[in-house]
Each structure stands twice: as C-alpha cells, then as structure tokens.
Chain A
Amino acid sequence: MSETTTVSAVRPEPGVRRWVHSATNSNLAPIILALVLVSVALSILTPNFLTASNLTNIVTQSAVVGIAAIGATFVIITSGIDLSVGSNIALSGLVGAIVAQTTGSGLLGIAVVVLVAMVVGAVNGASVAWLGLAPFIVTLAVMGMARGLTLQISQGQSVYGLPESLNWLGSSAIFDIKTSALVTVLLFVVAHFVLSQTTFGHRIYAVGGNAEAARLAGINVKRVVFAAYVIAGITAGIAAIILLGRLDSATPNAATGTELQVIAAVVIGGTSLFGGKGSMVGTFIGVLLIGVINNGLTLLNVSSFWVQFVQGALIFLAVLLDSFNSRRKQRAGR
C-alpha cells in the first residue's frame, strides 16, 4: 500500500509490449539469458555450433517436441498436464501410416493421424473435465493404453515405405530450410495469437488461475479444459506427421519419453505447473533451449545418456524456480 500511486499516474503501455505481455505476468528474462549464455558457451567450445546450417538444424530437430509443446502449453496453463503425448504420437502415427499404406493415399493418412490424435486428446479432456479425474493420473493411464494399443496393432513391427505426400511435411525443404522448421515457427505464431489475443486464450488463463472464480464469471470451465486437451491431441498429431516423414516409417516405440522433453520445454519457458501463468513465447524459447543443449551435447560428443539426465535436471530447476516464485507471490499477496 505504501508505494501506490494515484490513477492519474497510470499510463498506457506501448502496443508492442502489450502484445507480447498481455495477461501472462511471466518473466522471460531468465530463460532468454540462459539461452544466450548456453549459445555463447557453445560457440566458443565448438566451431560447428554457430553456423547457419546448424542453427536451422536445431529448429528442425526441435520440430516434434516444439509442436507438441504448443498443445502442452494450453493444457499446463489450465493447471493440467498431458503425459500421454509421446504415446499419442506413436499411436496416431502408426494408425495413419497403416491407412496410408493400405489405401495408397497420403492425404487420407494425414487426416487419420490427426483424427486419432484428437480422439486421444478428447479422451483425456473428457475424463478431466466431466469425470473430474486428476490430469496426471488420467494421462498416465492413457499413455499406457495408447502405447499398448500401438504395440498390439503393429505387433511390434515398424511400417516402412510411406506415400510421398505423407512424408512431405517431415522431409521436404523450401529454400534450404526444412518445411518442418517453418511449420513449427508458423504454428507458434498462430498459437501465440490464440493464447494472447483471443477470448479463448483469456479463458484458458482464467480457468488455470482460479477455476471457481472463472466459473462464477460465467466461463464454461469444463468446455475450456476439454478444448485444451483436444488441442494438445491435435498438436501431437501434427508432430506425429513430421516424425513419420522424417523417418519414412512408423515405429511402435516412436517418441518414447517425448513427454519429458515437452513438459521440460513448457516449464522452462515459464509456464507455471500451478496454472494460470505462462506464454507461448516462453515455450518457444524453452524448446530452443532444449534443442540447443541437445545439439551442443552432440557436437561435444557427450554420451546421449547424459542428454536425458540434463533434461531431467532442467525440469527440476524450472519447477524449483516456479515454486519459489509462487510462494513469493503468495506472501506478497497477503
């Protein structure tokens, strides 16, 4: 109360800042700093890091995790979580690949991939929204079921040799830049717009910030939660298409453990696991940071076993920061 100013001192904020900032209140400075520091360190340690081809390569390598992280950001801001994303990528990719191969139609395959992934997302969303089940448990169960289905359908065998049109998104390039990288960036721009500029995005924050207050404000909380999981399903499907094209095959063990990287990217990007706070810009930077670290560890010939350790450690750090921030906020709010 002591530092308050009167209303006359309230100034409009510049438009650009508002566009980026909107309702999030999240502070991106630490993660941008981390990204810069890691990049500078890698530029010094290895001559191969700071080359145009390597930098676009990082975005391309990050496409699957990045696109899945878009959906996960919606879900996590509603204070939910989606552990089934890796299994969903494998299941939808496999089913789509089989359909494409048997019918010979890549476009049908693409439609099936997205449809299957959306259904998985809808199962998650309906269970959380209308059955009132805990997101962690539901998506853990769905993660197991989806992976089990994938193994059963494929009998453990990979599907090779997919139609060109199905592979296009994950394997083609436009002016030396991989289409998948461009699509990733494009989707992030769209998602950022939806989250920060639309009534739907505003509702997402409201539901995650205080579901009961959102309900009293007239927001259909259940529908918003459901929609968030469906979006997560759709983005998992798009990620699956890119993975299919990159590998020119569907394997039943595809994207195992991807959920760890996805959640890491979102949380490192400043989205709070307590809900109500976060941004798409943050997630994008989180994705880049993980991509840069993965890339750097490879360039430095560090064992790939360490890569997973580092990702785990990053989540740990991010959650720790998140928890500190929330507690400080709580104390300040009293």
Chain B
Amino acid sequence: MRSTESGSIRLEGVSKTFGTNTVLEGVGFALSPGTITGLVGENGAGKSTLIRILSGAIEPSSGTVELDGVTLPNSTRGVIEAGISVIYQELTDVPDLPLLENVLLGNLQSSYGFKRTRENRKRALEGLRVVGLDHLGLDTPLRELTIAQRQLAEIARCLVRDAKVLVLDEPTSSLPEADVETLLGVVERLREQGMTILYVTHHLDELFRIADRLIVLRDGRKVAEAPTEEWDEHSLVRAMLAGELDQAYPWRSRELGEVVLEASDIVAPGVRSASVTARTSEVVGLVGLAGAGRTELMRALCGVSSAHSGKISVDGSEVRIGSIRHAMRAGLLYASEDRKGDGLILEGSVESNLIYGAYDEVSRFGVINFRRVSAFARDTVSRYRVRLHSIKQAIGELSGGNQQKIVVARVSERKPRVAFFDDPTRGVDVGAKASIYEEIFQLADRGAAVFVSSSDTDEVLAVADRVYVLAGGRIVAELQRGEFEREKILHLSSAAGANAGGSNR
C-alpha cells in the first residue's frame, strides 16, 4: 500500500520517570521497514511505558524517539498522522457501529456532510482486503463479529490511516488458537508489504514464529537484542528474569519464633482439605496453578468464605471458622487480590480506605477523630511512598501500584498476628513491587506471620521462608527455603493437580 522506503524508528537513550520511580532507563534500538521486532519482558519491565511513548500518549523524560529522522510529535493524534499506529490489548472499537465506520473511525471523510461516500467504502475495503475481512459486509454491526475479526478490523483501521509503523500490544491474548494463526499470517503479510512492526507479547512461541529480532527489557533497561535465530526459549526466559528477583526483593533470614497459627483439615469452597501452620516472623508462600485454591485457602483461613469444617487456632486459642470479625479479632487479616472488586472502596478517600472497619484507635464513643485519621494516613502514605495529591482524594484516582500499596498498608498497619497477602503485587510496576515486599518483610520483622501468594511463582519463591504447594484444593507439598526448585514445584503442582482433579468432588 505504500513505499517501503519510510517507516524507520530510532530510539536513543529513552528514559522515563514517574516521580521518583524510574520506569525506563536509557533504552535505545532501531526498527526498520519490512521487519518484525519482538519485545519481551516481565510485567513491569517497561513495555507498556515504551508503547505509550511510541503512541504519543506520554513523552520520554530524556532521550529521543525519531520516525524517519524526525522527532515524534507529542500527541497521540500527531503520532497517528505521522504514521505510527498502536493496537492495544483491549479492543478500542465501537461495537454498535457497522464495520465500515469502525474501520474509518476518526478518519471518515465526509462529502457535504454525507459519510457514506463511494470513496470511503473504497478505502475501507482496501484495508479489509489486506487483513482478509473483505468478504464481510461493510454494514455488518461490529458486535456480530468474532473477537479475532474485530482485532483484524482494528488493524485494517490502521492501514486506512496509512500507517507505516504498527505496534501490537499482546494482540493474541484473548484469541482462540485457530485465530492466532490468522492474525500471525496477517502480520507476516504486512511485513512483506514493507510495514515496520513492533510485536509485544508474553507468548514467546509466537515470536519464534514471526519475529526477525528480539529485544528484552528488564527493570526498564534493554538487556539484550539479537536476531531471533540466536535465541531459544530457555535463553530468552533467562534474559527476562536473570537474577532480577533476588535483587528486587532480597530475602533475608529472620529468627523464626513460636507457632502462631495452626489450621487443620480446613474444608471450604475450593479447598478440599488443608492443614497449615505458621510461626512468628515467618513468610509462608502459597504456590500453585490458577485454580489450585491459593485464594480460597486464604479466604477460608480469614473467615472471608464460610469454611465447612476444620479447626483454626491462633496462639493456641481456637478461632471460630467462617466469621470475618472473629478472625480479625484474633489477628488474622486478609488483603484481597482483587483491589477493585472487594479490596478497596474506590469512591472513598485514601484516608477512609485506611480505616474502614478498624476504628478502635481513631475513635472514641463512636466519634471519629479525623485529625488523628489524617495524621495516621499522612504518615502511612509517606512511609509506603504512595503518590497522590491529597489523602482526601478518592482512592480510585490513584494508579494501580499506589492503590495496591494502600491494600497492603491497611493490613500491615492493623498489627496482624497473621497477615494474608493474596497476590499483593498484581499489576504493579517493579518499583512498587519492591516497596510492597519491603513492607511485608518489615511486618515479619515485627513478629507477624505472613502468608503470600502470587500468580508469579518465582516471586513467591524469592520472598518465602517456606512454601506450600497447592493443587486441586489440597496441599501437595511443603518445602523449606533451600529446597525451592522451580521445576520440581511446577511438576508437583501440575501432576498432583491432574490427579486430584479426578477424584472426589
């Protein structure tokens, strides 16, 4: 559709900081027309920030980004017009409008106010032909299309805008396998037509199929770049992770105290039978595949879900199961994995979210001393380095990482005997992760027992003194630090999970 001569991207020394948090540091690389470059890195490595810079949504704090030797405009509109289009993970189309208008979204040329011109239809069809959707009627409402077709329609939209550079951010994350093939085919076809393509994904196999070069980001830095044939899956994963975990959350040995929590034969929704213990100052990890029962076990132990049977005791005295308030009184506190769903009250202020349900220290005869609340809140947000305008601000306005710090702080600051952090670093960047774990360690230093679970097993292994491996709602293994082997744990959790899955339901 356009000449292959233009569409070169060059980044030099690109850095981006948010406040004190450096998200990108000195990143430089070049993308040339007619190539597919894969960009990989863990959550929080800086990929999203890089994409946002390329889209014109944010400007780098330092460094330059050039398209064909010209500095990138600093607006999304300008960047699109310059020829860079970004396809985001989540669809940005308008399901109620027909295909035609979606493909021409923001680019509809009207003639005397009429939009349904022959010119428009021709341009839309041209774009749709490249992505293989020209057999669909232009008037089909978008909601009648499959997700994959809508994804392709978004690409067609970029083509209609005469994009020279296409950035794809996790384009296959919600596609069934068969449709992934189609999409990869389209991307390869675009390369043949001379498009410059940056392909960002967690699916390494896709990159090995289509990418020409691979770039690895870690902690906001480019740590490796090489032609695809020089990589294999193993070396790529190593480059993404290497040593980073130990650096980010340095495990340190602590003097473990007496057993504080003893729970035996817990049966609850999603938990078939589990017995756990924890000692003071101990960090206990829960690992397992999705659906293994990590969240469910935590919720049962804290009385959030109604356990059917089992016995829980704290410091030797029994706690009534299935009652949040009894569990809380005994010092069992739960920090939810789902901060928007049930972790926070998003409309409430930051300070309110710190005290909901725990008024003992800030109230007298049922009257809240807001001066004390504010002092407590200001102290907390500064220790946790929460970035905000005001503690009176609605917490929903904070970024995910900062919201998450409040979720953690709320449990840590209530002097728990046993704290349960369910995926405490979900969706937060590297900097926030490190400070969240720092707080968790300090809590353990002060003598609390701490349970941590995460969808990222490596993260749990990096911080825990001991882990329980869960599968199918049961504990299938218990490992001490020093016995942590990733392969073994993976094997345990998947093999045992398959076994447990078949039996008694």
A residues with CB within 8 A of B:
1-13, 15, 18, 21-23, 25, 197-200, 202-203, 205-206, 209-210, 212-220, 276-277, 329, 332-333
Contacts and interface: CB of A to CB of B under 8 A. Distances in A.
B252 to A, nearest CB: 26
B325 interface: yes
Contacts of B345: 205-206, 209-210, 213-214, 276
Contacts of A215: 324, 342
B388 A23 contact: no
Contact of B358 (A9, A18, A209, A218): A218
B382 A202 contact: no
Interface stretch (B159-167, B253-261, B263-271, B393-401): B393-401
B182 interface: no
Interface stretch (B79-87, B362-370, B438-446, B463-471): B362-370
Interface in B292-346: 304, 324-325, 328, 334, 336, 341-346
A103 B382 CA distance: 65
B231 interface: no
Given A199-B359, A210-B344, A216 B334 contact: yes
Interface stretch (B70-78, B200-208, B348-356, B497-505): B348-356
A329 to B, nearest CB: 7
Contacts of B388: 4-5, 7, 10
29 contacts: A5-B387, A5-B388, A6-B19, A7-B382, A7-B385, A7-B386, A10-B389, A10-B391, A11-B390, A13-B390, A23-B348, A25-B348, A197-B370, A199-B363, A199-B368, A202-B368, A203-B356, A212-B341, A213-B342, A213-B344, A216-B336, A217-B410, A218-B357, A276-B345, A276-B347, A329-B396, A332-B396, A332-B397, A333-B346
B342 A198 contact: no
A257 B386 CA distance: 49
Contacts of B358: 217-218
B116 interface: no
A11 B381 CA distance: 12
A332 B328 CA distance: 33
Contact of A10 (B325, B349, B356, B381): B381
A214 B381 contact: no
B366 A25 contact: no
Given A25-B349, A213-B342, A4 B392 contact: no
A18 B368 CA distance: 12
A166 to B, nearest CB: 32
A22 B378 contact: no
B370 A22 contact: yes
B18 interface: yes
Given A5-B389, A202-B359, A202-B368, 16 more contacts: A7-B385, A10-B388, A12-B374, A18-B374, A199-B366, A205-B348, A206-B348, A206-B352, A210-B345, A212-B341, A213-B342, A217-B358, A218-B325, A218-B328, A219-B357, A333-B397
A22 B371 CA distance: 11
B58 interface: yes
A262 to B, nearest CB: 23
B325 A209 contact: no
B20 interface: yes
A23 B393 CA distance: 9
Contacts of A202: 352, 355-356, 359, 368
Contact of A210 (B334, B342, B359, B386): B342
10 smallest CB-CB distances across A and B, nearest first, come from: A217-B357, A218-B357, A333-B396, A209-B345, A212-B342, A217-B356, A199-B359, A7-B382, A4-B387, A210-B345
A23 to B, nearest CB: 5
A216 B420 CA distance: 12
Interface in B53-67: 58
B313 to A, nearest CB: 20
Interface string B158-192: 00000000000000000000000000000000000
Among B345, B358, B388, residue most surrounded by chain A Cβ atoms (within 10 Å): B345
Nearest to A200: B366
A277 B345 CA distance: 11
Contacts of A200: 366
A206 B356 contact: yes
Contacts of B374: 12-13, 18
A10 B378 contact: yes
A193 to B, nearest CB: 8
Nearest to B396: A333
Contact of A329 (B18, B324, B347): B347
A79 to B, nearest CB: 11
A210 B346 contact: yes
A197 B368 contact: yes
Interface in B384-422: 385-392, 394, 396-397, 399, 410
Contact of A7 (B347, B363, B387, B397): B387
B350 to A, nearest CB: 10
Given A200-B366, A209-B348, A276-B347, A216 B324 contact: yes
A219 B381 contact: no
Contacts of A209: 345-348
A214 B357 contact: yes
A210 B340 CA distance: 9
Contact of A198 (B344, B356, B367): B367
A206 B357 contact: yes
A7 B389 CA distance: 8
Nearest to A25: B394
A12 to B, nearest CB: 6
A113 B460 CA distance: 61
Contacts of B392: 13, 18, 21
A18 B356 contact: no
A71 to B, nearest CB: 19
A321 to B, nearest CB: 16
Contacts of B356: 202-203, 206, 213-214, 217, 219
A131 B365 CA distance: 31
Given A4-B388, A199-B366, A276 B348 contact: yes
A330 to B, nearest CB: 8
Interface string B12-55: 00000011100000000000000000000000000000000000
Nearest to B377: A10
Interface in B198-221: none
A332 to B, nearest CB: 6
A223 to B, nearest CB: 11
A2 B19 CA distance: 9
Nearest to B356: A217
B18 A4 contact: yes
A2 B396 CA distance: 15
B389 A198 contact: no
Contacts of A206: 345, 348, 352, 356-357
Nearest to A218: B357
A213 B368 contact: no
Contacts of B325: 218, 220
Contact of A1 (B20, B348, B399): B399
B422 to A, nearest CB: 11
Interface in B444-494: none
